A and B are shown apart, each in its own frame.
Chain A
Amino acid sequence: MLRIALSRLGTAVPSLVGVVIVTFLLTRVLPGDTASYFAGPVASPEAIAQIKAQLGLDQTLPVQFGRYVSDLARGDLGTSLGTGQPVLREIATRLPASAELTLCGLLLAVLVAVPMGILAALRQGSWVDHLCRVLTTAGVSLPVFFTGLLAVYVFYFLLGWAPSPLGRLDAFSSAPPAVTNFYLIDSLLAGDSETFLAALSQLALPALTLALFALAPLARITRASMLAALDSDFIRTARASGLAGRTVVVTYAFRNAMLPVVTTLGMVFSFLLGANVLVEKVFAWPGIGSYAVEALIASDFAPVQGFVLTMAILYIALNLAIDLLYGLIDPRAKAG
């Protein structure tokens, strides 16, 4: 397994190099003049030139690139103009916020989608199948900002069940001592059940919103691959041999149907992590998606580059993890 991991990591190096070059070039061809935007409306040409020089934007592209790579090698992702803070530090605090939200949303989605997909495949045409269809259609067709706003309106504004959508914690709680920057984990580590509950209640609505969105592809793929597995010869053989229905479904059919589900899970996770900008905006979640979008609108290079690079590394790590997981689920995958 270690050999597989190492060889996979080896193949990832060229893609990382590519990502570094492409993001650098892409941010440079973006329209918009960073320096004059941040210099403000009444800036003199000298002030704009000063900002340009400070950012190194007055240099030629190869020089800028060389500087960027050497900074990168020292672990320096630059400083965001929009927030005035080092990009590395911002990503280090914002990525866990996004990851915590996405993981919780995904967990909820898996808990609902996988059993529902299996049941829908087992009882085609039954009410479970119809429910599955309705939920997946709703999940893909309702945009997340809409479900998010609706959730805020119903559960916070009308019913008052949910706490105020003020981000990761309400204004009067303080964050638990940072260990992992996952508030749920940190508060448990600190033995602070009050903060844990506060963080959990803030998390509930956005996680539900995300879950509804993530549910659709998961439930559909579970149902489809279960149908394919249940149709195959080995299931017929197992049934003919008189194995218990439960064993046939769980041990034989589901295990074989899991590969595409895990692949989809990985894709949905990495997609959600960067793409739940709208959920982050509605719930004032200090996540990485809204950070990157704000930076992009302002032509703020450093955060955009840092974001794309972080995402690329995450994708690579995630794909590696999924590949390794394949080997555990299906021993045949290990050989390939």
Chain B
Amino acid sequence: MRRRTLLASATALAAPALRPAAAQPAPGRAETLLLVQEYGPNSLDMQGLGSSQPVNGVALNCYDRLVRYKRVPLPGEGNGSTFDITSLEPELAESWQEASDGMSCTFRLREAAFHSGRPVTAKDVKWSLDRAVSIGGFATTQMNAGSMEKPEQFVALDDRTFRVDYIRKDKLTLPNLGVTIPFVFDSELAIRNSGGDPWAKEWLKNNVAGSGAFRVEAFRPGTETIYARNDDWKSGPMPKLRRVIARDIPSPSTRRALIERGDADISYGLPPKDFKDLAEARRVKVVGVPVPNAIWYVALNAATGPFTDVRLRQAVAWALPYEAIMQASLFGRGVPMWGATGGPTTAWPQPFPYSTNVARARELVQQAAPGGLTTSLLFDAGSATVAEPMAVLVKEALAPLGITVELNKIPGANFRGELNKKTAPMAINRFGGWLDWPDYFFFWNYHGNNSIFNIASYQNPAMDKLIDAARFAPDAGSYAEAVKGFIGLAEQDVPMIPIAQPLHDVAMQRSIGGYQFWPSREPDFRFLTKG
């Protein structure tokens, strides 16, 4: 009897598995992309608190923004595109017009629908942007970076007209609408499921309520995320891929084996050495884009400890073995940030005038600390693949000068805490700003408001004045002057020594086309093609 029930239940269970799939033929391998990455999203809501880096990919593919950046082809055949942040293209907005006084911008929305079938209205846009400036955490900080600070700035004029009022003239306001934070939710659906929370934080963490090109078919944190194409997408050309499987493969060796064997289509986040090997072997395509506004650097504490003396900071800048670091820790996957000749330009990142010159370094140390000194260097265990060899090389290079460096490797959860203390004499870090303007970088890293990224705790009123002048410069001439001014000051005071601008590398099969690089660095499935 018992056995019979078991058999009966077994067949009952088998039945759904044997039933043929839905009427539409399932996407075949040619229309399905398999992507492998170290770890996947921990939420589906990029505005939410504590969202991990891959959540940007969900925002990009499953939600629409008002605008996106103009796509610019990368050099090299079939390498895909990067972007021009100063030139915007329509996404949900079909057109926009800045007011003649330059203090607001009015957007006309296209006729688009959410995954739920509801039309996208200006009310939804307002709710979403209100949410971004009110929810706190990273989303709000990012909105503030473009001078979007209060819900009152967002006005729904009618169903398809939406206006952003400026609180000040800020060249970052419009570009900041293209990052992965101000995306548009189906506000009615979200509110209906919110369970009383005005921003539906819990529900949106596990559910997509967007109008984007893909919906999330399965979300299994720590294992995989499966995306399926939204066939009614209106905000761009219909994606070629019908299904994307993003698997979390923690071991980089396994991710490399998968791409080399041809089982995975795209592999993200390999160590620089693997990208170098893959690029040299040429079997798979490696696309490396210099990450805009990003630098690996050594910060020297200008507020406490030995490096308050500018001569010692300059000594370290003259002593660093730049070339060795580039080869041994980045394996050449970066753009050199040393050895500049001629004065500063307006480009950013740009090389500093230092290079390895031990004699000059020794001379400066003799002047400032003839007896030598002992100090420590902080770095994040989470980025140890690059930072650890870098730290060892720094230690080795400073030892002959009489500077004894103790290495201090800190696990990820504690690293930010340590940085926040602002007491580390030396630290290795990588900063990347989404909005690609030098004054944006300097505002976070050099300004006297002493954000967490100003690891050197560098305070200089002259620097603040130049940064503020550039941020709100009335014309191109004064802007260029201010930028050159603060870069020159940074080169002279070196509270941070730039080493290299990292490349963002992605390995993909030769059959994969349409790669698109965005500030968030996450894969955009909307333009990818296969075969």
Contact = CB atoms under 8 A, between A and B. Distances in A.
Interface string A134-156: 00000000000000010011001
A127 B17 CA distance: 50
A36 interface: yes
B401 interface: no
Given A33-B413, A81-B50, A299-B413, A156 B261 contact: yes
A227 to B, nearest CB: 40
Interface string B401-416: 0000000000111101
A10 B142 CA distance: 56
A34 B36 CA distance: 28
Interface stretch (B132-140, B169-177, B363-371): B132-140
Nearest to A51: B49
A284 B248 contact: yes
A172 B42 CA distance: 22
Contacts of A299: 413-414
Given A81-B50, A82-B42, A284-B248, A46 B136 contact: yes
Nearest to B444: A42
Contacts of B17: 176-177, 190-192, 195
Interface stretch (B102-110, B250-258, B275-283): B250-258
B22 interface: no
A176 B14 CA distance: 9
25 contacts: A32-B411, A33-B416, A36-B416, A37-B416, A39-B50, A39-B137, A41-B453, A42-B142, A43-B137, A47-B138, A50-B136, A83-B221, A84-B42, A94-B222, A152-B253, A157-B260, A157-B261, A164-B263, A167-B224, A167-B247, A190-B14, A190-B17, A281-B251, A284-B254, A294-B222
Interface residues of A, number: 57
Interface in B210-257: 220-224, 245, 247-251, 253-254, 257
Contacts of B261: 156-157, 160, 164
Contacts of B412: 37, 297-298
A189 B13 contact: yes
B413 A286 contact: no
Contacts of B87: none
A177 B13 contact: yes
B23 interface: no
A190 B10 contact: yes
Nearest to B256: A157
Contacts of A323: none
A40 B221 CA distance: 19
A165 interface: yes
A177 B19 CA distance: 13
Interface string A171-188: 110001101000000000
Contacts of A283: 251, 254
A76 interface: no
Interface string A260-294: 00000000000000000000111110100011001
Contact of B249 (A51, A82, A284): A284
Interface-centre pick from B52, B222, B414 (highest chain A CB count, 10 A): B222
B97 interface: no
B21 to A, nearest CB: 10
B376 interface: no
B420 interface: yes
A79 to B, nearest CB: 9
Contacts of A165: 249, 254, 257-258
Contacts of A85: 221
A212 B137 CA distance: 48
Contacts of B257: 152-153, 156-157, 165
A283 B254 CA distance: 7
Contacts of B142: 42
Interface in B455-513: none
Contacts of A195: 17
Identify whether the interface residues of A are mostly helix, strand, loop, or mixed.
loop
Contacts, number: 160
A41 B411 contact: no
B308 to A, nearest CB: 25
B418 to A, nearest CB: 10
Interface in A22-52: 31-34, 36-44, 46-47, 50-51
Interface of B: 9-11, 13-14, 16-17, 29, 32, 34, 36, 42-43, 49-52, 136-138, 140-142, 205-206, 220-224, 245, 247-251, 253-254, 257-258, 260-261, 263-264, 411-414, 416-417, 420, 451-453
Q: Closest 10 A-B residue pairs measured CB to CB?
A: A32-B413, A38-B50, A83-B221, A164-B263, A47-B137, A299-B413, A191-B14, A47-B136, A284-B249, A42-B141
Contacts of A328: none
A84 B34 contact: no
A166 interface: yes
Contact of B141 (A44, A50, A192): A44
A189 B248 CA distance: 28
Contacts of A167: 223-224, 247, 249
B253 A282 contact: yes
A286 B52 CA distance: 19
Contacts of A46: 136
Contact of A43 (B42, B141, B413): B141
Contacts of A37: 412-413, 416-417
Nearest to B221: A83
Given A41-B138, A281-B251, 14 more contacts: A31-B414, A33-B413, A37-B413, A39-B137, A43-B136, A81-B50, A84-B42, A85-B221, A149-B251, A165-B249, A167-B223, A171-B245, A283-B254, A298-B412
Contact of B250 (A31, A32, A290): A290
A46 B49 CA distance: 12
Given A90-B222, A166-B247, A297 B258 contact: no
Given A51-B49, A172-B32, A179-B13, A282 B251 contact: yes
Contacts of B140: 44, 47
Contacts of B14: 190-192
Contacts of B49: 38-40, 47, 50-51, 54
Interface in A289-314: 290-291, 294, 297-299
Nearest to A49: B136
Contacts of B34: 171
Contacts of B248: 284
Nearest to B416: A36
Nearest to A168: B223
Nearest to A34: B413
A299 B69 CA distance: 37
B414 A84 contact: no
A32 B420 CA distance: 12
A291 B452 CA distance: 29
A77 to B, nearest CB: 16
Interface string A4-21: 000000000000000000
A177 B16 CA distance: 9
A32 B222 contact: no
Contacts of B16: 177
B95 to A, nearest CB: 32
A32 B254 contact: no
Nearest to A192: B17
Given A50-B49, A177-B16, A298-B413, A284 B420 contact: no
Contacts of A34: 413
Contacts of B141: 42-44
Contact of B417 (A36, A149, A152): A36
